[in-house]
Structure 1
């Protein structure tokens, strides 16, 4: 594997739940970032500065900020299939299919995360050939663009991760296309919004199927209406450039 694609592991670490190991590995992460010439110098500088910030932060503060960002509401969920299938039955089959992909590649999972957790998925991609990486990043491009726009709207450093991923396939401009929609969305991480979701997701017993139950909620309908369609064209990882 091209050593430059170890950058996917860097992004996986940055996007995962903070740990003491992450903070201690800051110099190593920065070295890998600076060696990824597919990223322009300003992006490498931003990512490196973020690593420096993490190394100088209190772990408890980082953990609290992470939970506040990703565990309150669903708009910036790191579970890919939540953006694709919502709560429908299709999500379970998608999980099975992805697990089969992992197994066929000899990629072993522990029980800590679901298979569509984006940091875990990036770990998997870091083991694959460039052509396959390009294909997968192309298929999840709409999710990455929307996630990037929403994280930017929240002024989060985590927006750098989808931006860096899309840059690898020359598609970073797709985030800008979704900024107006992201800025117009009402926040889903406020106490009022979270209470409303709980109320709307109360199961009505007259539902005819599990899928009907999920679609009764406003959130379920919204996610179903945003049904993801794969991009048909072949997308490749851009080649490295000079430093």
Structure 2
């Protein structure tokens, strides 16, 4: 029997649109992404304010004229700070052997749906998970996100605290999810206090998100 996935408070179409917009906005801001801002803005403006407003905030920031500064800030935000990591299983498994198993399980979900990732893509990258949920299998995508909910909430809190312009996109994704429960709150508090686990022996870059950043679309 497949695991029960909680009911959500927005329509499936609204969630799909929000996840697809967020998956693009949270990617490396190259010229292709920036050329899509008008279209993304049109889509975000049709969504309920609870999930559309954050997307619009990030879109407006990305309209700034200095692309190089935007790209530099993106790298500083997501590729150099552990709390800004976009690799979901890093938060739940840290730099341990368990993360390799978690990545394998996600790849198996993708393979079952007929999706094969490029060699340079890690399957737990938030942009990849959101695009998979938006375009391929919403139920499976939601389960991946909920399985790593504490890490996503930590990322949301961190981006909000540092005033990141990408905070809005993360806030939008989190707004599509069911309310946090007691165990989720405990997991977030533990991550804030202790950070992800560490186990340096026998690891390679496959388990080290800060050594293998993704720049490019899902």
TM-score over 0.5 (shorter chain): yes
Q: Is the aligned partner of 1:210 residue 2:202?
A: yes
Return closer, same or farther for 1:140/1:159 CA change in 2, 3 Å cut-off.
same
Q: Could you list the runs of 5+ residues in structure 2 that have no partner in the other structure?
A: 1-10, 204-218
- Indicate the residue corresponding to 1:93 in structure 2: 101
Secondary structure of 1:106's match?
A: coil
* Alpha-carbon distance in structure 1 between the residues aligned to 2:143 and 2:106: 14
* Alpha-carbon distance in structure 1 between the residues aligned to 2:202 and 2:175: 39
- Indicate the residue corresponding to 2:25 in structure 1: 14
Match of 1:28 among 31, 34, 39: 39
Q: Conserved in 1, the CA contact under 8 Å of 2:22 and 2:55?
A: no
- Indicate the residue corresponding to 1:154 in structure 2: 162
- Spell out, residue by residue over 1:132-186, the C-alpha distance to the aligned partner (whole angstroms, 9 max, x if none): 4443332222111111111111111222222111211243899xx79x969x87x
- Indicate the residue corresponding to 2:122 in structure 1: 114
* Alpha-carbon distance in structure 1 between the residues aligned to 2:38 and 2:47: 15
Report how far residue 130 of structure 1 moved. 4.3
Secondary structure of 2:135's match?
A: coil
Mean Cα displacement is larger for which, 122-131 or 8-17?
Answer: 122-131
Return closer, same or farther for 1:173/1:158 CA change in 2, 3 Å cut-off.
farther
* Alpha-carbon distance in structure 2 between the residues aligned to 1:130 and 1:92: 24
* Alpha-carbon distance in structure 2 between the residues aligned to 1:50 and 1:73: 19
Equivalent residues in 2 for 1:188-227 (5 A)?
210=202
Aligned residue pairs: how many? 185
* Alpha-carbon distance in structure 1 between the residues aligned to 2:54 and 2:70: 18
Match of 1:83 among 91, 102, 106: 91
* Alpha-carbon distance in structure 2 between the residues aligned to 1:172 and 1:18: 31
TM-score scaled by structure 2? 0.72
Q: Could you list the runs of 5+ residues in structure 1 that have no partner in the other structure?
A: 186-199, 204-208, 212-243
Higher RCO (CA 8 Å, separation ≥ 6 residues):
2
* Alpha-carbon distance in structure 2 between the residues aligned to 1:149 and 1:100: 30
Larger Rg: 1
- Indicate the residue corresponding to 1:55 in structure 2: 63
* Alpha-carbon distance in structure 2 between the residues aligned to 1:173 and 1:44: 24
* Alpha-carbon distance in structure 2 between the residues aligned to 1:3 and 1:159: 22
Match of 1:169 among 177, 180, 195: 177
Report how far residue 97 of structure 1 moved. 1.1
Secondary structure of 2:117's match?
A: coil
